[in-house]
Amino acid sequence: MLKKLLLIGFGMLSGLVLAGFIFVIYESGAELPAIETHHIEAAETLSGLHFSDSHRDSMLAGVRSNRETYQRIRAMEIGNEVWPAVQFNPHPANYKPRITGNSFNWEPPLQPPLPENMEELAFFSVADLSSLIRSGTITSTQLTELYLKRLREYNPKLQLVITLTDELAMKQAARADSLLNAGIWLGPLHGIPFGSKDLLALDGYPTTWGATPYKNQYLSETATVLKKLEEAGAVHLAKLSLGALAWGDVWFDGVTKTPWNTDIGASGSSAGSGAAVAGGLAAFALGTETLGSIVSPATRNGVTGLRPTYGRVSRYGAMALSWSMDKIGPMTRTAEDAALVLQAIYGPDGLDPSVAHHPFYYEPLADLSGLRIGYHKTAFSMMYPYQSFDESMLEIFRDSGAELVPIELPEMPFNAMDVILSVEAAAAFDELTRSGQDSLLVRQMIQAWPNVFRTARFVPAVEYIQANRARTLLIEQMHEAIKDTDIYITPSFVGGNLLITNLTGHPSISLPNGFDSSDMPVSFTINGHLYDEGLLLAVADYYQRKTNFHRQIPPQMLQ
């Protein structure tokens, strides 16, 4: 007799309506319906194929056998942390790195004066705060107390904190002060308070992934990036919100708001990270990106968001969404700050198989003479909102001493390749789908993870491999398109660059370059060659020294 398990779940739609969902889940070891030739014929329609009756008869035994293997693998315990044996490599053929030696030429800025309103310290750059702490003008404990106070005060409106790690923060701050009193300075992040996106494991604290099914999940490990930041002397304030399972700004306890307008979501999925930095609730934060999850909230919140090269920063201890597309990067007030954070977190740890040793070279630039800066001609020629801001930005680069050269990005069906993300995400959350607990996620619309996971079950493995082969061609064409430039500039959301570079693994940095008629920030994106974050950071730093968009403070966040 066929055994079935009925699960009834409820999800919140649009924050107003409760909708019920009924799932039929076959228990492990249950007798499954027999596969017949008409099932194969129906499946052909899903794949756009056609076989003859004799072909279907010949396939039947193999298809039945395949399903048995699925069941055997499903009986195994394969956690989200387990990598697939097949690894993605973003290198084009005959790849030669542009950067061959480490160098981090950073000089601390002149110590800024203390503001009359000490709340303003919350909006100082990491570099400035570092100077104040190192000189003893302020202590890490004082700064940490300030940020914790602000987190408690503003979180009810912004809904960006999942777990406040205040005891840990005060302990780490006290250690930072003690070391400094003993004459030991760990570097520019010594005593600097920060927040992390709550898909990074922190031993002793819940790691919720922003999703109801994992609300009480504790992982007995700490993500490599958090370990590295602790070694650099940074102070962990809070685990910050993300859209559930890294999509959007909707999580199990609400919608994270942007400090610029608390009626508007902070975008995502690194929603809490972007909002915390913008609101002066952390000196910097860690975000992650698979397809826009740093660039989009950096834009919405008016902060600087660095998405490093794929494989630059270890993802050990981070929730896996797409093993071949996930990246971890800093969200900061300035490009200089992003360089300081990347310097602390980059490099292999022996635990993330995608990370190899590539040097990091960073040196601020007084001017951009001699640089060839590409700009995506077709994208900038299109009619799109905020085009005037981008035109003004290009004028700054034309006056910088650099040579601006038009480029065109590959013309391929790269939108079709996002099936790679869908399939990998469905595999990462296979158990969630098969258990029916995907119904517990807040968002239950067509464009939401539960439906994407289910739909991806019907992508043939052959088509997934073909999409990845097309991705190889995209990598090669991308290498050709930008090989004669040092960096290149694009609109943040026009022209396809966001998807292309997330598929190819190229680094980018999103920078604010104005405010629209609603006083909301807008941005543009600087993109670099593989592992050449140092140059794009230096160019971004140059731009920010010529402008002050990144220094603006949301009015309601400073009393």
Q: In terms of residues, how long is the chain? A: 559
Check: CB of residue 13 under 8 Å from CB of residue 22: no
Q: Which residues of 18-47 are buried (b: 16+ CB within 10 A; e: fewer)?
A: eeeeebeebeeeeeeeebeeeebeebeeee
One-letter amino acid at 460 equals: P
Euclidean distance between CA atoms 555 and 231, whole angstroms: 35
Euclidean distance between CA atoms 170 and 130, whole angstroms: 17
CA 552 distance to own-chain centroid: 23
Smallest Cα–Cα separation from 270: which of 290, 515, 311? Answer: 290
> Which residue in 196, 241, 273, 293 is the catalytic one?
293
In sequence order, what are the residues at sequence separation of 6 or more whose Cβ sits closer than 8 angstroms to the Cβ of residue 487?
371, 373, 374, 526, 527, 528, 529, 532, 535, 536, 539
> What is the maximal distance between C-alpha atoms in the chain?
84
Angle (CA) 255 390 557, round 5°? 35
> Which residue in 269, 322, 439, 510 is the catalytic one?
269
Respond yes or no: is residue 293 known to be catalytic: yes
Smallest Cα–Cα separation from 70: which of 22, 35, 23? Answer: 35
Smallest Cα–Cα separation from 143: which of 173, 113, 184? Answer: 173
In sequence order, what are the residues at sequence separation of 6 or more whose Cβ sits closer than 8 angstroms to the Cβ of residue 469?
none
Euclidean distance between CA atoms 302 and 305, whole angstroms: 9
From residue 41, how far is each of 33, 57, 457 by CA, in Å?
16, 11, 17
37 token code pair? 């030739």
Strands 161-164 and 261-265: unpaired
Euclidean distance between CA atoms 464 and 475, whole angstroms: 17
Euclidean distance between CA atoms 304 and 295, whole angstroms: 9
> Which residue in 196, 197, 322, 492 is the catalytic one?
197
Q: Tell me the chain's radius of gyration from C-alpha atoms.
A: 24
Euclidean distance between CA atoms 432 and 428, whole angstroms: 9
Q: Is it true that the peptide bond before 269 is cis, omega within 30 degrees of 0?
A: yes
Respond yes or no: is residue 269 known to be catalytic: yes
Strands 193-197 and 161-164: unpaired
Check: CB of residue 132 under 8 Å from CB of residue 138: yes
Smallest Cα–Cα separation from 202: which of 221, 217, 215, 216? Answer: 221
434 token code pair? 């098969």
Count Cβ atoms below 10 Å from residue 217 Cβ, excluding itself. Answer: 13
Alpha helices in 159-251 (DSSP H): 166-181, 224-231
Beta bridge partners of 216: none
Query: Catalytic site residues?
Result: 197, 269, 293
